[in-house]
Structure 1
Amino acid sequence: MLVLLAPAPAPAYAHVPTQVSAAPTEVCRITDPAVTEVSGLAVTPTGYLVENDSNPDPAKTRVFTLDKACKVTGSIQYPRTARDPEDLAVDRKGTVWIADIGDNSPLTGGSGTRRSTIALWTMAAGSTQLKIHRLVYPDGVPRDAEALLIDGQGRPVIVTKDPNGEVFRLDTPLPTDNTEGAKLTRVGTFVPQRTGTSNPWGFLGVAWVTGAAVSADGTRAVVRTYADAYEFEVTGGDVAKAITTGRPTVTALPDEPQGEAIAYTADATGLLTVSDQNGPAVILRYASGLKPAPPSSAAPSATHAAAAPPKAPARSATRAPLLLGAFTVVALMLVAAVARRARKR
């Protein structure tokens, strides 16, 4: 039985800084046919890391290394089939993190079997081997998620895809090759704004969270929807606190076909995005809405941060926070299911 609930009021930001910037510039195009449906992106000194979230042949779902012209220079295969990898990050120690956290329900084009655990895959700097770490939500209820951030203490932070996305963090040691999932802690919610930015999913697209990133120096974090990028200043490495209680600067990412991946440039002056789609994927660069951070000797060098991977138009968003009732969300998810099923497992 479907129970329709009245929408709960979302917290309002007292002030939302905004920016007006030029249209994005094209950085390069990923034309290799092996790289399909890019949902995660990270920057390295020699180019980029990307991961695809699905492939007709599951064995071809991999992490790819690209040069600065977006040419594939190598790939890393999962030791066992990844279920639905959706985001990618490189932390300050050079460890690569892949968020195998997607879990599309039948409403959004997924299978009828939800996953009991989610997973993170890590690869230490200089290694070519991926290790798996299984996690579980504190109430045991499955959720679909596509956004991963790594905080200043090296803790993974996950934001669920649903409107007013829940924010979870792992506050216990990271287990490796475990069967029972390590329990996450719920630390708050990320609240998108009703920006009205044009995107393929309409007003629901401004609410679905599809990716996230932390700058190389750890002083800023960004969470994106299909329509917009929300940047936050991070204090003391506490990424979860920043994205749940901070005041964002919002940059519109209009009309990206299936905008999911996002990353900071090495100097954090720009935001890089790429759409999850078949065919050539274009990496776009937008200007960051935050002022440049002052130089800090504590920040890792670009060379160190990039050692991990092995070689192988903005608009104002000052409107009220998004309020979506359960009835509206379900109805639009049903409409989206047809399109989503054609491209997702």
Structure 2
Amino acid sequence: MRWAAVVAVLVAVGLAAAPAAPAFARAGDAQELCRITDPAVVEASGLAALPGGGYVVENDSNPEPRRIRVFYLGADCSLTRSVGYPTTARDPEDLAVDRRGVVWVADIGDNSPLSGGSGKRRDTIALWTLAPGAKSMKIHRLRYPDGVPRDAEALLIDGAGRPIIVTKDPGGEVYRLDTPLPTDNAEGAPLTLVGHFAPTHSGTDNPLGFIGNALITGGAVSPDGTHAVLRTYSDAYEFDVTGGDVAAAITGGTPRVTPLPGEPQGEAIAYTPDGTGFLTVSDQSGPVSILRYHIERPAPTHPPATSAPAPASPVPAGAVTDRRARVALLAGAFVVVAIGLVAGLARRARRR
């Protein structure tokens, strides 16, 4: 029994130390909010909701560079305006709007020849920013610390305003810019490798099967900065964020998983303005829908109160008297039993 107890304790400690598995939410029905029908808006790979209503999206690589633009949509998905790039954008893959209202476009795609790319790998990647009221975007060139090209499709902005890039490959690498953001620079500013995030092979239905379960295709941070999400072609992985440290949440946190089944080429993800839902859109030619998924989160736990404890209820005088009587009776019974035991032992001794 003693060894069994030791083994049980060791097993319990081991389970407590093991990383927790992701918690899967129920796959709810997606709600179609609106349908993008304008022929200019094709292959939308990045999405964000605007605080005042409507959406902003960007499209990725296109045979005609002038058609790679940032598009502003109304609440009904109608095109209200678009903004072009000052120079040719190579492969924009994600989009974010920070707390100041600045639009960030992640020109970070770099498909290898094995995955259908051109074979011309890039030495630097780029972020484009469009400030509120600005008519033109600014470019900020970055590079990976080892100089090796990577394909990435996820951009997040943390609480300090730092960009975070997560590579697309299974076991995605998480990079952050820890130096000031350069502008119009020729040589890319080096990123810092913070850690990794590996999606689960969830089995959620998607056009690419188990491969789609593993490839990271987009990311977003909630408007209040307390949550962050990465998505694959099949699922959304949401993390709790503490102190604005998005990278730490992604690399060390335990996500809640929301299945996004059946999305054709689902790449973009964003939060609703109130942070209670995910918005998605598929990277396709032709009309596509902006979908909304409800987020299932556990009820918040409140910390214990730090105020002084409430005074104890007054005890009736009679209760004190009764308690003393019970104590006296128990003490007397103990004495009687003890005397009986001593007397019995004495009798046995005399017989011997």
Runs of 4+ with deviation above 3 angstroms: 291-294
Q: How far apart in 1 are the matches of 2:125 and 2:159?
A: 22
1:270 maps to amino acid: G
How many residues align? The count is 284
The 1:180/1:288 distance shift into structure 2, 3 A limit, reads: same
1:72 maps to amino acid: L
- State the 1:291 CA deviation: 5.0
Which stretches in structure 2 are left out of the alignment for 5+ residues?
1-16, 302-352
- State the 1:113 CA deviation: 1.1
Candidates 8, 30, 44, aligned match of 1:38: 44
Do the aligned partners of 1:17 and 1:248 also contact (CA within 8 Å) in 2?
Answer: yes
1:234 aligns with 2:234: no
The 1:196/1:56 distance shift into structure 2, 3 A limit, reads: same
- CA shift digits 1:17-60 (9 cap, x unpaired): 22214211111100000001000000012200000002231111
- Output aligned runs, 1:95-244, within 5 Å: 95-244=102-251
- CA shift digits 1:62-121 (9 cap, x unpaired): 000000000000001100110000000001111110000000000100011100000000
Aligned twin of 1:332: none
Per mean C-alpha deviation after superposition, the further-off stretch among 234-243 and 123-132 is 123-132
- CA shift digits 1:237-262 (9 cap, x unpaired): 00000011101000111111100000
- CA shift digits 1:264-307 (9 cap, x unpaired): 0000110000000000011111011335889xxxxxxxxxxxxx
Which stretches in structure 1 are left out of the alignment for 5+ residues?
1-10, 295-345
- State the 1:12 CA deviation: 6.9
- CA shift digits 1:181-204 (9 cap, x unpaired): 000000000110110111111111
- State the 1:15 CA deviation: 3.6
The 1:293/1:85 distance shift into structure 2, 3 A limit, reads: farther
The 1:186/1:287 distance shift into structure 2, 3 A limit, reads: same
Do the aligned partners of 1:269 and 1:292 also contact (CA within 8 Å) in 2?
Answer: no
Candidates 254, 258, 270, aligned match of 1:251: 258
1:62 aligns with 2:90: no
Aligned twin of 1:263: 270
Q: How far apart in 1 are the matches of 2:241 and 2:55?
A: 24
3-state SS of paired residue (2:24): coil
Q: How far apart in 1 are the matches of 2:18 and 2:214?
A: 15
Aligned twin of 1:312: none
Q: How far apart in 2 are the matches of 1:152 and 1:206?
A: 28
The alignment's TM-score, normalised by the length of structure 1, stands at: 0.80
2:116 maps to amino acid: G
- State the 1:127 CA deviation: 1.4
Comparing both chains, which one has the higher relative contact order based on Cα–Cα distances under 8 Å and sequence gaps of 6 or more?
1
Do the aligned partners of 2:145 and 2:190 also contact (CA within 8 Å) in 1?
Answer: yes
Candidates 45, 48, 55, aligned match of 1:48: 55
Aligned twin of 2:329: none
Aligned twin of 1:19: 25
- CA shift digits 1:311-345 (9 cap, x unpaired): xxxxxxxxxxxxxxxxxxxxxxxxxxxxxxxxxxx
3-state SS of paired residue (1:211): strand
Higher share in helix: 2
Q: How far apart in 2 are the matches of 1:266 and 1:226?
A: 23
Query: Taking every aligned residue pair, what percent have the same amino acid on both sides?
Result: 68
Do the aligned partners of 2:27 and 2:259 also contact (CA within 8 Å) in 1?
Answer: no
Higher alpha-carbon Rg: 2
3-state SS of paired residue (1:102): coil
2:183 maps to amino acid: T
RMSD (CA atoms)? 1.5
Q: How far apart in 2 are the matches of 1:171 and 1:12?
A: 30
Do the aligned partners of 2:217 and 2:231 also contact (CA within 8 Å) in 1?
Answer: yes
3-state SS of paired residue (1:222): strand
